[in-house]
Amino acid sequence: MISTQLPQPRPGPRPERPRHRDADRPPHTPLRPHWACRSCGQPWPCATARLLLTAEYDAERHALSIYLAGLMYEAMRDLYHLNPHDGPSPRRMFDRFVAWGPYRRAVPGPPP
């Protein structure tokens, strides 16, 4: 039996990207704790945020994957806290945050 609790992980990155701003619209950044886009209301990262993030991280594609993985962790924490019994599946969260990124691979299907 473990007599001590493991330390809680520190918070992940702050969701402040993409940094592109339009003068008349809110940025395409996530609105926490629901993780909806501030600008269009779609689940974040919305299509526009994905395009802007891809352009912003064009020279550092690996950094985009790291950033998205950190935000996925933060989103999972928030969304499971809001609804612990019926939150999104880890697979769905991975597809939403990380799988569209620069280093995606085809997911192998079940064995024949």
Instruction: Give the predicted TM-score (pTM) of the model.
Output: 0.73
Work out the average pLDDT over 43-64.
90
Work out the average pLDDT over 63-81.
90
Beta strand residue intervals within the chain, DSSP E:
30-31, 36-37
pLDDT at 105: 59
Q: Is the pLDDT of residue 39 over 80?
A: yes
DSSP annotation of 44: S
DSSP annotation of 45: S
pLDDT at 100: 87
